[in-house]
Chains A and B, each alone.
Chain A
Amino acid sequence: MKDDNRRDLRPALAFLLPNFLGFLLFTAGPVLVSLYLSFTSWDALTPPRWIGWDNFTGLLGFHSTAQGWMANDPDFWRYLGNTFFMLLALPLNIAGSLAFAVLLNQKIRGVTFYRLLFFLPSILYGVAIFSLWKYMYDANYGIFNSLLERVGLPPLAWLENAHLAKPALILMTLWLSVGGAGMIIYLAALQQVPEELHEAARIDGANRWQQFWAVTWPSLRPATFFIVTMGLITWLQAGFDMAYTMTDGGPYGSTTTLGFYVYLKAYKFFEMGYASAVAWLIFFITLILTLFNWWRARDGTT
């Protein structure tokens, strides 16, 4: 039995080698180095200096002042808030994806065309689309202000207004991803819901709306769990591309997420150790929220 298990060891090593080398060099190794760096002060020029937990207390700690307790790094807490605000896109996205999937699950003509059209924006993600939306939000030339003007409303400074910028970015991400992977996953899941369940609910006198909440939504739970998990991993580290191309993190840091903060600290201020600590905090937040989601999903099914 043991011999059988070892039968393929040598060819396995050969097949694994190219990928495993890259994995060690560019993923596993850097994870360890990053962990080390998060306990150092490093400007990328002189050798890193070990400073223990200082980065983390600098990020998470408070100190007392005449006005009361102050965060050591108020920016971090604001950007954490921004990151959670942008996370609002996730439930909106899930609701939208599900609505699209339900519409596309009807037996009517032209569904393929609609599906392709809804899916298209999600694959175009990138600077081209961010430029398009920056143009649409442009205070002077943008279509949003031009529409507002036509119905007699005053123009808005969409991306230059600290209160509007985040909702504007969320609207853009909704357009980008509402017809994306989430919709495709829900569509596949909807087609797996057994027709007998609906039949039984109908016989019990449930209307369409009740059928949806009593039959469809519970059977979609695994799909929702997957979409939430992927969404958390994606969204908690997101924000660099958008901030870098559209807002530069502003106005007044209102669109700086933790992902963009890592970039700013590392490549604007050359505080690589501090930036690494922020990156690890993103990881821990992702881990905690993912585990919570997993624990909740398990709780629901048993």
Chain B
Amino acid sequence: MKSKTSLRWMWHLPLLVFAVTMAMPLGLMVTTALGDAQMALRPGVSLWHVFIPNEWNWDNFAYVWKKVNFLRYYLNSLVVALFVTVGQVFTSACAAYAFARLRWPGRDRVFFAYLATMMVPNAVTLIPNFALMKEIPGWLTHLLPFVDWLDFRYLGTSAGAAPVGRLVGLDSYFALIVPNLFNAYGVFLLRQFLLGIPRELDEAARIDGATHWQIFSRVILPLSKPGLVTLAIFAFMGTWSNLLWPVIVTNLEALRTLPLGLMIFQQQSGAQWHYVMAGALLMLLPVIVIFIAGQRYFVSGIATGAVKG
């Protein structure tokens, strides 16, 4: 028995090996982002210098921020991700309330239909959604012929400048945001959280004469804060890293989100990896901040999905 406890430290050996393996690529990313073009792993450069550069080159960040237009990509990504996050949390919370706390005929069948669509691959709905975005301006012109749906200036472009996007349709914030405001997964996740809140609470509020909106906003929402935060984190990170949808619905540089902007810069940079890594780090920064601030929500979110499954 005694020998067993004294050998416990042995567990650290494999853990340390794995920890170094997992951390190495990230370390390389940081040091490359702070390095210079000469250092970027030329054959003959000492391996030591890969991880401890001679000098820290902070200018790389300024370069991608200004010269590569990362500022613009950042703003686009932030606008899209924030709208999508708020929208998804709101629509999902409302629907979850209807599914978890209210009684109405056909409730479980409708919920099952929601669940079933979670299995449908993204590729199936991709083309019809693209077509929808493409056709919307035409349809709206029939409804409101006096609005020019194809022309829209925003985010500090001066009058007379070339149009940098549209109000709706392809190449618009509308296309980047609106189709992503609704999400079956969010409904599923929040329904699980809401089912865990004791029934007596809303029954009591109901007897006191509270309306459904009051019960929802004053009783249920405050109690399901962990669920809301979890969904907000997942929605934000999913939108932040989404590449396929922006690739399909945007063409203009003014509408590029970070993943697309970074990808195009990477392909045009001609192996200037120190700039690419600086851009990549800038892109990951908010994700790392969210991870540090909200790590317990990640675990609870994963656990909620798994318990049901």
Contact = CB atoms under 8 A, between A and B. Distances in A.
Interface of A: 4-9, 11-23, 25-31, 33-34, 37, 44, 100, 103-104, 106-108, 110, 114, 116-121, 123-136, 138, 140-143, 145-147, 149-150, 175, 179, 181, 184-185, 188, 223, 225-226, 229-230, 233, 236-237, 240-241, 244-245, 258-259, 262-263, 266-267, 272, 275-276, 278-280, 282-283, 286-287, 290
B223 interface: no
B41 A185 contact: no
B273 A279 contact: no
Nearest to A112: B295
A130 B298 CA distance: 22
A22 B117 CA distance: 13
A267 B259 CA distance: 19
Interface stretch (B91-99, B145-153, B161-169): B91-99
B132, B259, B277 interface centre (most CB from chain A within 10 Å): B259
B25 interface: yes
14 contacts: A15-B95, A27-B117, A28-B113, A121-B26, A126-B243, A136-B28, A140-B271, A146-B50, A184-B299, A237-B122, A245-B266, A258-B123, A275-B127, A276-B124
A16 B259 contact: no
A13, A127, A237, A282 interface centre (most CB from chain B within 10 Å): A127
Contacts of B99: 16
Contact of B243 (A104, A150, A245): A245
A55 B258 CA distance: 36
Contacts of A262: 123, 126-127
Q: Is the interface of A mostly helix, strand, loop or mixed?
A: helix
Given A121-B25, A146-B41, A283-B120, 9 more contacts: A19-B182, A34-B125, A123-B237, A125-B241, A127-B283, A131-B279, A140-B271, A141-B271, A262-B127
A8 B103 contact: yes
A113 to B, nearest CB: 8
A146 B22 contact: no
Nearest to A285: B121
Contacts of B14: 103
Contacts of A125: 241
Contacts of A135: 32, 273, 276-277
Given A15-B98, A188-B303, A175 B25 contact: yes
A16 B277 contact: no
B248 interface: yes
B119 interface: yes
Given A18-B90, A124-B287, A279 B121 contact: yes
A37 B23 CA distance: 46
A123 B291 contact: yes
Contact of B182 (A26, A33, A258): A26
Contact of B105 (A5, A11, A20): A5
B225 interface: no
